[in-house]
A and B are shown apart, each in its own frame.
Chain A
Amino acid sequence: MKFAYKNKETVIHRLHPACKLIWVIGILFACIIISDPILLLLIFFSTVPFVIIGKIVKEWFSFLKLTLWLSFFIIVINMFASQYGSTILYVIPSEIPIVGKLKITFEALVFGIGMSFRLIATISAFAIVTLTINPDDLLQTFLAFKLPYRTVFTTAIATRFMPCLLNDVDTMTDSLRTRAYNFNDGKFLQRIKRRSVLILPLLSNSLERAIQSAEAMESRAFGSDTKRTIYKKIETTLTDYFFIMLSTLFLVFLFLMLLFNIGSYNYYPSLDPIYINVSYMSVALVLIFFVLAPAVFSPLKKVFDLD
């Protein structure tokens, strides 16, 4: 296991974490309230430029690969489960107990495909965020938002120690292997058993680390009664505010969509016709604008921030 995040000097990486965070929440929100397959597909395509500008194509693909199986599964379940469609493609001849006679409809198939677009769009956005936000910067941002300090700090310490603990696992595995210990011996239960010898020594080592880390924190005045301040290293510049505002507007826009029931699409009993009229086009365009905005305007950051 390695950090999904890699430090790369691209404009996407340099965007303020808060901006990316609001952006991804926006996309998740959008994907939930929108059921129109074309809009969902548009959202997905609008995330692609981030991947290219952020130079994370390879990693992004490996994230998406995981969703392929899930999309397939979603299509299959929807196809069998939904009995609301009217255009029958196939009727399963024999009756299934409890469920009754099953029919496969065209609408259900399209619904399944629409939902897999929804999935891919969400995963793509999350992948971009996971790959381009430095976990530490993100935690700093949480702190800056005055989110619960203890919780955030605990997560930060846990993240900090992960590479260390991973290294412990590797060394211990190597150490056992060089003592002729075979991890792959035997069947299922035997294999679990053989591998589990690592756990308790690892736990003891981890607890030892916990004590030492607590000692060091204590010796640096952690937990004193004074109210803690936070040294801000990530400076929030004017352009950052601009981006955060933009992302927030995105959320507002989505809320309005929800309020006026725009973007929902009825698959059942028969597919809604899609009218590509002016209002539909404008909604689609605004949506694309908001999704793309951080990528499109990110060169601004280079121009205005002189760092």
Chain B
Amino acid sequence: MKKTYTIVALLLACLAACIIFSLIFIVDLSEHWGIFALVMMIFTVFIMFLQFERGKMTSKEISLVAILSGFSAVSRVPFAAIPGVQPCTYIIICTGYVFGPVAGFMVGATTALVSNIFLGQGPWTIFQMFAWGAVGATASVLPKLKIKGVGLVIFGVIWGYLFGWIMNLWYWMLYIYPHSFSTFLFMMVNSVWFDTLHALGNAVFLVLLGEKTIMILNRYKHRFHVEYSPHLQTSKSTKN
């Protein structure tokens, strides 16, 4: 529990640092702040990776994170024909919700990495890793705040927009000048249609499948429980 909060706090601190630094640089209208923000983002992703690294090396956890990432990456295939809508975000939310911040972040980041092996890597990869990772990590706070049902759906909608805005950053930073509020607003307005679809998709998935998905993942989580019993009811067995 303590770990959860530290990690989320760390993440928020990084975000805040990003924003503060970018504010300074926007005022400064410096040329090279793009590199800086990029470095910050890579830094955040690395910190989370190191968190993951610190855990014990168990095959269960690794294969779970790996396969959930793969699953989340392929789950967008059936929806390829509907622009903006993909179930990745909702799956990552559910993962973070059930398995905690580190697994949530890892599934988010790995989803981005893996799906881009197929769709093409680019400067956006690191932003996607960061954004989806943050989705997973923040979702882990929800069960502690006893948020579910409608709250979960609202959370999904918020991340639909937030995700879009983080993703806008990569080319806003590198290719648009000046880095002013109005250009950022312009970018956001431009992508608002796409982000709305994303948010709407998240809402639909969470309403339709959210509860069941969380149930399935919870069942998986509780499935492996060891008990050494010296006196197992052998009477039962002899009866048969």
Query: How many residues belonging to A are interface residues under a CB distance threshold of 8 Å?
Result: 83
Asked if B176 and A155 make an inter-chain contact with CB atoms under 8 angstroms apart, the answer reads: no
Summarize B's interface: helix, strand, loop or mixed.
helix
Contact with A122, one of B122, B201, B209 (Cβ below 8 angstroms): B122
Collect the chain A residues with CB atoms within 8 Å of residue B14's CB.
none
Complex formed: what's the CA distance from A212 to B150 in Å?
Answer: 35
Name A53-89 residues within 8 Å CB distance of B: 63, 66, 70, 73-74, 77-78, 80-82, 84
Q: Which of B60, B120, B171 has the most CB of A within 10 A?
A: B120
Let me know if B64 is at the binding interface, CB within 8 A: yes
**A-B contacts at CB below 8 angstroms, number:** 224
**Contacts of A185-226 to chain B: CB distance below 8 A:** 188-189, 191-193, 195-196, 198-200, 202-204, 206-207, 209-211, 213-215, 217-218, 222-223
**CB-defined contacts of B59 to chain A, threshold 8 Å:** 213-215, 217-218, 222-223
Residue contact A32 to B174, C-beta cutoff 8 Å? yes
B176 to A148, Cβ gap below 8 A?
no
Interface assignment of B228: CB less than 8 Å from any CB of chain A: no
Residues B113 and A155 in contact, CB atoms below 8 Å apart:
yes
Q: A32-B32, A218-B59 are in contact. Are A200 and B213 (CB under 8 A)?
A: yes
**Which B148-197 residues have C-beta < 8 A from chain A?**
171, 174-178, 180, 182-183, 186-187, 190
Interface pair A77/B121, CB less than 8 Å apart? no
A126-B121, A214-B62 known; A77+B183 contact, CB < 8 A: yes
Q: How far is the CB of A31 from chain B (nearest CB, A)?
A: 7
Contact of A199 among B75, B175, B183, B187 (CB under 8 A): B75
Tell me if B121 and A157 are in contact (CB < 8 A).
Answer: no
Contacts of A28 in B (CB 8 A): 123
Query: CB < 8 Å: which of A1, A199, A207, A258 contacts B87?
Result: A199
A233 at the interface (CB under 8 A from B): no
Contact (Cβ within 8 A) A3 B176: no
Q: Are A173 and B78 in contact (CB under 8 A)?
A: yes
A150 and B57 form a contact (CB under 8 A): yes
Q: Does B204 have its Cβ within 8 Å of any Cβ on chain A?
A: yes
Say whether B123 contacts A122, CB under 8 Å.
yes
Closest beta carbon of chain A to B62's beta carbon, Å: 5
Q: Which residues of B contact A135 (CB under 8 A)?
A: 117
In the assembled complex, the Cα of A165 lies from the Cα of B72 at a distance in Å of 10
**What is the minimal beta-carbon distance from B30 to any residue of chain A, in angstroms?**
11
Neighbour of B34 across the interface among A32, A119, A153, A204, CB < 8 A: A32
Whether, in the assembled complex, A290 has its beta carbon less than 8 Å from a beta carbon of chain B, the answer is no
B49 is an interface residue with CB less than 8 A from chain A:
yes
Contact A210/B121 with A165-B74, A169-B78 known, Cβ cut-off 8 Å = no
Once bound together, how far apart are the Cα atoms of A202 and B148, in whole Å? Answer: 24
Does A253 sit at the interface, judged by CB under 8 A?
no
| B73 at the binding interface (Cβ < 8 Å) | yes
Q: Is the CB of A158 within 8 A of B82?
A: no
Q: Which residues of A contact B82 (CB under 8 A)?
A: 188, 191-192, 195
CB of B145 closer than 8 Å to a CB of A:
no
Q: Residue on A with the closest CB to B118?
A: A1
Rounded to whole Å, the gap between the CB of A22 and the closest CB of chain B is: 15
Asked if B35 is at the interface of the complex by the 8 Å CB criterion, the answer is yes
Sorted nearest first, the 7 A-B pairs with minimum C-beta distance are A157-B66, A217-B59, A206-B71, A214-B63, A210-B67, A115-B175, A158-B66
B residues with CB within 8 A of A:
31-32, 34-35, 38, 49-50, 52-53, 55-60, 62-71, 73-75, 77-79, 82, 85, 87, 91, 106, 110, 113-114, 116-123, 171, 174-178, 180, 182-183, 186-187, 190, 201, 204-205, 208-209, 212-213, 216, 220
